[in-house]
Amino acid sequence: MEASEAMGRIGRWSLAAVWALCVLGGCAVSEPVPAPPAAQTAGPWRDWKDFTLPGKRTTRYQPGWEDGRPIVDAFASASASMLRRSLRIAPADVAGVEFSWRVASLIGRADLRDADLSDSPARLVFAFEGDVTKLSMRNRMLFDLAQAVTGEAPPYATLMYVWGNVVAPETVLHSGRTDRVRKIVVQSGPQGCGRWLSYQRDLVADFRRAFGEEPGALIGVALMTDADNTASQAAARYGEVRLIGRDGRPF
Protein backbone atom coordinates (compact mmCIF):
# COMPACT_ATOMS: atom_id res chain seq x y z
CA MET A 1 0.00 0.00 0.00
CA GLU A 2 1.35 3.46 -0.90
CA ALA A 3 1.90 5.84 1.99
CA SER A 4 -0.54 8.40 0.53
CA GLU A 5 -3.26 5.73 0.21
CA ALA A 6 -2.67 4.54 3.77
CA MET A 7 -2.91 8.09 5.10
CA GLY A 8 -6.12 8.57 3.13
CA ARG A 9 -7.65 5.53 4.77
CA ILE A 10 -6.43 6.63 8.17
CA GLY A 11 -7.99 10.02 7.63
CA ARG A 12 -11.38 8.38 7.04
CA TRP A 13 -11.18 6.15 10.10
CA SER A 14 -13.34 7.06 13.05
CA LEU A 15 -11.39 8.57 15.93
CA ALA A 16 -13.39 6.30 18.21
CA ALA A 17 -10.65 3.79 17.43
CA VAL A 18 -7.97 6.07 18.83
CA TRP A 19 -8.51 5.07 22.47
CA ALA A 20 -8.12 1.44 21.54
CA LEU A 21 -4.73 2.49 20.27
CA CYS A 22 -4.05 4.91 23.11
CA VAL A 23 -4.29 2.83 26.15
CA LEU A 24 -6.36 2.02 25.36
CA GLY A 25 -32.24 0.86 21.64
CA GLY A 26 -31.77 2.28 25.01
CA CYS A 27 -30.98 0.42 28.18
CA ALA A 28 -32.41 1.35 31.56
CA VAL A 29 -30.74 0.63 34.87
CA SER A 30 -31.87 1.95 38.20
CA GLU A 31 -30.25 5.13 39.40
CA PRO A 32 -27.20 4.51 41.63
CA VAL A 33 -26.98 5.69 45.19
CA PRO A 34 -24.36 8.47 44.95
CA ALA A 35 -21.14 7.63 46.71
CA PRO A 36 -19.88 10.05 49.34
CA PRO A 37 -16.91 12.13 48.07
CA ALA A 38 -14.48 10.30 50.38
CA ALA A 39 -15.58 6.94 49.06
CA GLN A 40 -15.09 8.09 45.46
CA THR A 41 -11.51 9.18 46.13
CA ALA A 42 -10.49 6.36 48.50
CA GLY A 43 -12.46 3.46 47.03
CA PRO A 44 -11.49 1.08 44.21
CA TRP A 45 -12.16 3.78 41.57
CA ARG A 46 -9.77 6.36 43.01
CA ASP A 47 -7.17 5.83 40.26
CA TRP A 48 -9.68 5.70 37.39
CA LYS A 49 -9.96 8.80 35.19
CA ASP A 50 -12.24 9.87 32.36
CA PHE A 51 -10.60 9.66 28.95
CA THR A 52 -12.32 11.47 26.10
CA LEU A 53 -11.96 10.81 22.39
CA PRO A 54 -11.43 13.70 19.98
CA GLY A 55 -14.58 14.56 18.09
CA LYS A 56 -16.76 12.24 20.19
CA ARG A 57 -19.47 12.91 22.72
CA THR A 58 -18.58 11.71 26.21
CA THR A 59 -20.12 8.70 27.92
CA ARG A 60 -21.00 9.51 31.54
CA TYR A 61 -19.40 7.31 34.20
CA GLN A 62 -20.83 7.68 37.72
CA PRO A 63 -19.32 5.88 40.74
CA GLY A 64 -21.83 4.76 43.34
CA TRP A 65 -22.95 1.87 45.53
CA GLU A 66 -25.33 -1.04 45.23
CA ASP A 67 -26.06 -3.12 48.31
CA GLY A 68 -22.75 -2.06 49.84
CA ARG A 69 -20.63 -2.89 46.78
CA PRO A 70 -18.84 -0.21 44.76
CA ILE A 71 -20.13 0.16 41.20
CA VAL A 72 -19.83 2.46 38.23
CA ASP A 73 -22.84 3.32 36.09
CA ALA A 74 -22.14 4.14 32.45
CA PHE A 75 -24.61 6.05 30.25
CA ALA A 76 -23.87 6.52 26.53
CA SER A 77 -25.92 8.64 24.15
CA ALA A 78 -24.39 8.49 20.65
CA SER A 79 -21.10 8.73 22.54
CA ALA A 80 -17.81 6.93 23.11
CA SER A 81 -15.30 7.52 25.89
CA MET A 82 -13.56 5.57 28.62
CA LEU A 83 -13.02 5.39 32.34
CA ARG A 84 -9.45 4.14 32.62
CA ARG A 85 -6.69 3.34 35.04
CA SER A 86 -3.02 3.62 34.16
CA LEU A 87 -0.67 1.05 35.70
CA ARG A 88 2.32 -1.09 34.88
CA ILE A 89 2.45 -4.82 35.65
CA ALA A 90 4.89 -7.34 34.20
CA PRO A 91 3.06 -10.18 32.42
CA ALA A 92 4.78 -12.75 34.63
CA ASP A 93 3.08 -11.16 37.65
CA VAL A 94 -0.50 -11.31 36.34
CA ALA A 95 -2.56 -14.42 37.08
CA GLY A 96 -5.93 -13.18 35.89
CA VAL A 97 -8.77 -10.70 36.17
CA GLU A 98 -12.15 -10.85 37.87
CA PHE A 99 -14.92 -8.49 36.79
CA SER A 100 -18.69 -8.17 36.60
CA TRP A 101 -21.30 -6.11 34.80
CA ARG A 102 -25.03 -5.76 34.34
CA VAL A 103 -26.79 -4.66 31.17
CA ALA A 104 -30.54 -4.16 30.88
CA SER A 105 -30.73 -4.60 27.09
CA LEU A 106 -28.58 -4.69 23.98
CA ILE A 107 -28.03 -2.04 21.32
CA GLY A 108 -30.43 -3.08 18.58
CA ARG A 109 -28.35 -2.33 15.47
CA ALA A 110 -24.92 -3.02 16.90
CA ASP A 111 -22.67 -5.61 15.27
CA LEU A 112 -19.11 -6.06 16.53
CA ARG A 113 -18.14 -7.59 13.19
CA ASP A 114 -18.92 -4.34 11.33
CA ALA A 115 -16.58 -1.40 12.02
CA ASP A 116 -19.40 1.05 11.28
CA LEU A 117 -21.79 -0.60 13.78
CA SER A 118 -19.26 -1.78 16.35
CA ASP A 119 -20.90 -0.57 19.56
CA SER A 120 -21.25 -2.51 22.79
CA PRO A 121 -23.05 -1.73 26.06
CA ALA A 122 -20.19 -3.23 28.08
CA ARG A 123 -16.47 -3.62 27.43
CA LEU A 124 -13.38 -4.16 29.54
CA VAL A 125 -10.25 -2.94 27.77
CA PHE A 126 -6.57 -3.79 28.43
CA ALA A 127 -3.52 -2.11 26.91
CA PHE A 128 -0.10 -3.76 26.57
CA GLU A 129 3.42 -2.67 25.70
CA GLY A 130 5.44 -4.33 22.97
CA ASP A 131 8.02 -3.79 20.23
CA VAL A 132 6.38 -1.25 17.91
CA THR A 133 9.18 -1.63 15.37
CA LYS A 134 7.57 -4.96 14.44
CA LEU A 135 4.38 -3.24 13.31
CA SER A 136 3.37 -2.74 9.69
CA MET A 137 3.76 0.64 8.01
CA ARG A 138 -0.01 1.05 8.10
CA ASN A 139 -0.12 0.54 11.87
CA ARG A 140 2.90 2.77 12.50
CA MET A 141 1.22 5.57 10.55
CA LEU A 142 -1.98 5.10 12.52
CA PHE A 143 0.00 5.12 15.74
CA ASP A 144 1.64 8.41 14.71
CA LEU A 145 -1.80 9.87 13.99
CA ALA A 146 -3.17 8.69 17.33
CA GLN A 147 -0.25 10.24 19.21
CA ALA A 148 -0.63 13.53 17.33
CA VAL A 149 -4.37 13.68 18.09
CA THR A 150 -4.30 12.56 21.71
CA GLY A 151 -0.81 13.51 22.88
CA GLU A 152 -0.13 9.93 24.00
CA ALA A 153 1.97 7.17 22.54
CA PRO A 154 -0.34 4.25 21.67
CA PRO A 155 0.18 0.83 23.22
CA TYR A 156 1.48 -2.05 21.19
CA ALA A 157 -1.71 -4.09 21.59
CA THR A 158 -5.22 -3.69 22.99
CA LEU A 159 -7.37 -6.61 24.17
CA MET A 160 -11.07 -6.17 24.94
CA TYR A 161 -13.65 -8.36 26.64
CA VAL A 162 -17.01 -7.47 25.07
CA TRP A 163 -20.73 -8.19 25.07
CA GLY A 164 -22.05 -8.68 21.55
CA ASN A 165 -25.42 -9.19 19.93
CA VAL A 166 -24.93 -12.27 17.77
CA VAL A 167 -21.31 -13.47 17.77
CA ALA A 168 -20.73 -16.70 19.70
CA PRO A 169 -18.98 -16.48 23.08
CA GLU A 170 -15.21 -17.04 22.98
CA THR A 171 -15.01 -15.74 19.41
CA VAL A 172 -11.92 -13.58 18.82
CA LEU A 173 -12.67 -10.57 16.63
CA HIS A 174 -10.10 -8.35 14.94
CA SER A 175 -10.92 -4.68 14.78
CA GLY A 176 -11.91 -3.53 11.31
CA ARG A 177 -9.71 -0.48 11.77
CA THR A 178 -6.45 -2.01 13.03
CA ASP A 179 -5.24 -5.51 13.78
CA ARG A 180 -3.64 -4.22 17.01
CA VAL A 181 -7.09 -4.26 18.63
CA ARG A 182 -8.68 -7.66 19.25
CA LYS A 183 -11.88 -8.50 21.07
CA ILE A 184 -12.95 -11.64 22.90
CA VAL A 185 -16.71 -12.05 23.13
CA VAL A 186 -17.51 -13.15 26.68
CA GLN A 187 -21.28 -12.64 26.47
CA SER A 188 -23.61 -12.74 23.47
CA GLY A 189 -27.27 -12.08 22.87
CA PRO A 190 -30.00 -11.04 25.32
CA GLN A 191 -29.47 -13.97 27.70
CA GLY A 192 -28.26 -12.54 30.97
CA CYS A 193 -29.61 -9.04 30.42
CA GLY A 194 -30.98 -7.49 33.59
CA ARG A 195 -28.80 -9.42 36.04
CA TRP A 196 -25.24 -9.36 37.31
CA LEU A 197 -22.82 -11.55 35.38
CA SER A 198 -19.36 -12.31 36.78
CA TYR A 199 -16.25 -13.49 34.95
CA GLN A 200 -12.81 -14.87 35.76
CA ARG A 201 -10.30 -14.74 32.92
CA ASP A 202 -6.67 -15.73 32.46
CA LEU A 203 -5.50 -12.47 30.91
CA VAL A 204 -2.14 -13.73 29.66
CA ALA A 205 -3.64 -16.87 28.10
CA ASP A 206 -6.35 -14.79 26.43
CA PHE A 207 -3.73 -12.43 25.02
CA ARG A 208 -1.77 -15.35 23.60
CA ARG A 209 -4.90 -16.75 22.00
CA ALA A 210 -5.97 -13.42 20.53
CA PHE A 211 -2.58 -12.21 19.26
CA GLY A 212 -0.54 -15.41 18.89
CA GLU A 213 2.39 -13.99 20.87
CA GLU A 214 3.50 -13.25 24.40
CA PRO A 215 2.21 -10.04 26.00
CA GLY A 216 4.37 -7.19 27.15
CA ALA A 217 3.73 -5.22 30.31
CA LEU A 218 0.11 -4.40 31.11
CA ILE A 219 -0.08 -0.59 31.09
CA GLY A 220 -3.77 0.24 31.23
CA VAL A 221 -7.29 -1.00 31.94
CA ALA A 222 -10.57 0.74 31.12
CA LEU A 223 -14.35 0.48 31.14
CA MET A 224 -16.07 1.39 27.88
CA THR A 225 -19.74 1.76 27.05
CA ASP A 226 -20.22 3.18 23.55
CA ALA A 227 -23.12 3.91 21.23
CA ASP A 228 -21.55 6.38 18.78
CA ASN A 229 -21.51 4.24 15.65
CA THR A 230 -25.21 3.40 15.88
CA ALA A 231 -26.17 6.88 17.15
CA SER A 232 -28.19 5.19 19.89
CA GLN A 233 -28.17 4.85 23.67
CA ALA A 234 -26.62 2.30 26.00
CA ALA A 235 -26.14 1.81 29.71
CA ALA A 236 -24.29 -0.63 31.91
CA ARG A 237 -23.39 -1.07 35.54
CA TYR A 238 -19.87 -2.31 36.28
CA GLY A 239 -18.62 -3.99 39.40
CA GLU A 240 -15.07 -3.75 40.69
CA VAL A 241 -12.30 -4.88 38.34
CA ARG A 242 -9.79 -7.02 40.26
CA LEU A 243 -6.41 -7.85 38.73
CA ILE A 244 -5.00 -10.87 40.55
CA GLY A 245 -1.27 -11.44 40.93
CA ARG A 246 0.57 -14.76 40.87
CA ASP A 247 0.79 -14.51 44.65
CA GLY A 248 -3.00 -14.31 44.87
CA ARG A 249 -3.07 -10.66 45.88
CA PRO A 250 -4.90 -8.00 43.86
CA PHE A 251 -3.13 -5.13 42.19
The whole-number mean pLDDT for each consecutive block of 10 residues of the chain, a chain of 251 residues, reads 41 42 37 45 81 90 93 97 95 94 95 93 97 88 83 89 95 87 96 96 97 96 96 97 88 84
* 3 sits in which H/E element: helix 3-12
Each residue's pLDDT tens digit, 88-141: 999 999 989 999 999 999 999 999 999 899 999 999 999 999 998 888 888 888
Provide CATH code, domain 3-245.
2.60.120
Q: What predicted TM-score, i.e. pTM, was given to this entire model?
A: 0.85
CA–CA distances in Å: residue 182 to residues 144, 221, 246: 20, 14, 25
Q: How many other C-beta atoms are found inside a 10 Å radius of the C-beta of residue 123?
A: 25
Query: Exposed e or buried b for every residue in 137-156, given b needs 16+ CB within 10 A?
Result: ebbebbbebbeeebebebbb
The string of DSSP letters for 151-213 reads SSPPPSEEEEEEEESSSPTT-EEE-SS-TTEEEEEEEESSTTTTS-EEEEE-HHHHHHHHHSS
Domain coordinates in residue numbering, the chain: 3-245
